[in-house]
Each structure stands twice: as C-alpha cells, then as structure tokens.
Amino acid sequence: MSFLILIVLCLVQGLTEFLPVSSSGHLLLFSQLFGINDNNLLLNLFLHMATLVAVVIVYRKVILKILKKPLQPLTFKLLLSTLITLVFALSYELLNIDKYVTHFYGFCFLITSILLFVTHKFQKRASVVSANPEINYKSATLVGVVQGFAVLPGISRSGSTICSLLLAGNDEEKSAEYSFLLSIPIIIGGFVFELLKIKNFAEVFATTSPLEIIFAFVFTFAVAFLSLKLTLKILKKNKFIFFSIYLLLVSIFVIIYNFVF
C-alpha cells in the first residue's frame, strides 16, 4: 500500500467516523473514484481501534461511572439499542447486501441529508414539546432501529442516531453522549467481525509493516479525536445544516456517477 493511500484511508476513517456523513459511504466513494482497496484486514482492525480509543478518552468519565456501577439504566438502554442494531447487521450479512451497495448508496447519502435538514428545522420545536432530561427506553429502541439502518453505506451512524434523539425531544448533550457511547460496542463489534475474517495471521502480518500500523493508528486516532470534538461543537451551534447541504451534493454526484459509469 502506498503512503498516499494510507493517508487517505486514515483521514477518511478518522474524519467521517464521527461527523454525520457516513464513514462507510465515503470509503466506498473513494474506492470507486480512485480504486483504493481498503480490504487490508489488519489495517482495518487498527483503524477501528484508533477511533475506539478516541471515544473512550473523550467520554472517559461517563465510562468510568458505568464500569463502577454497571447495573444501571444507562447500561441496559445501551444494551437494548445494541441488540436491536445487531439484528439489522446480521440480516445485512445474511442477505449479502454488499453486492448491491454501489447501486443505491447515493440515495442513502440523500436520506442522511434529508434527516439532517429535518432535524435542523424541527429540533427546537421537538425539544420544547418534550424535553427529556435522560434518554428513555423508547428513545433507546428508536436509536437501535435507526442505527440498524446505518449499516448501509451512506447512512451516517452518528448523524442518524443523534438526529433521531433530538427529534424525540432530547437535548444536544445527552443525544451526543448516548450516540457516541453507543459507538463503543458497535466499533468493538466491527473489530471482532474483521478479526474473524483473518484466516492466516502470519500472512496478514507479512503484508503490512509495523511502521504502517503504528502510523495508521496514531494518525487516525488524532484525526478521530479532533473530529469528535468538532462534531460536538457543531452540534451545540445547531450547524448540521452544512452537512446536509454537503451530503446533498455528494448524493447527486454519486447517483449521476453510477448512472453514467
């Protein structure tokens, strides 16, 4: 793998993992445009680990509270959301959706764009009608379903989960906290899934140098950490509309590109 491609993969993974734009959709887009092959399983493992570490550091205080008192409502809500998402993820694999994603992921970008726009227009109204101080089980169920659809490239996991919580009347801080805490079991699940794909560890390690792994991990972590902090700031200022516009343009480009080519 060339150093330039490695940089691109780290930037795309780190930036788009937490920004509401869909990391899987952007990886697929870059793969189509530039022929970037991101099927290096060992590298994918470390990219996942880097984003995981970024979340853990940002939300370390909340995570420590959960670890000290695991049998609390928040734990069960996160577990509920994760189990619901797992059903969608397994269905995705069983139906072998991967074969068809290039045909419709432009429309998935469009769905995310519309969701961000709707949230921008109606978020404050929803919060006034039903200001929930804590995420309830109804919202946890909703997030699990929404996150389940986010297994499709182009539908942002962070964007869809945060938007669904905001539209349900939850405040920005709690919505973001729940969404990013929920990313921890999802990232770990992705890590395990990628790990199970490796049939010959010796062969995988032989094709990826330690220097590449170290660089990819550190660089992706730094980008992901800044991306997460940036997302939180943008959310507080209610500026998701800019991502809606961006994704609208991306969706139009992808749809036209796939139709022409």
Q: What pLDDT digit, counting tens, does each position of 89-118 carry?
A: 999 988 888 888 888 999 999 999 999 999
pLDDT of residue 1: 63
| Residue bearing tokens 């961000």 | 116
Q: Say what the pTM is.
A: 0.91
* pLDDT value of position 39: 59
CB-count burial class (<10 Å; 0-12, 13-18, 19+) for 109: buried
Q: Residue 243 pLDDT more than 70?
A: yes
What does the alpha-carbon distance between residue 90 and residue 132 come to, in Å, rounded to a whole number?
31
Cβ neighbours of residue 73 under 8 Å, at least 6 residues apart? 134
Helix axes 60-68, 172-197, angle to 10 degrees: 80
Neighbours of 50 (CB within 10 A): 24
Count each helix (H run) and each strand (E run) in the chain, helices first. 12, 0
Name the pLDDT band for 49 (thresholds 50, 70, 90). very high
Whether residue 132 is predicted with pLDDT greater than 60 in this model: the reply is no
Q: What is the DSSP letter of 190?
A: H
Task: Report the C-alpha gap between 130 and 208 in whole angstroms.
Answer: 51
Q: List the chain domain ranges.
A: 3-260
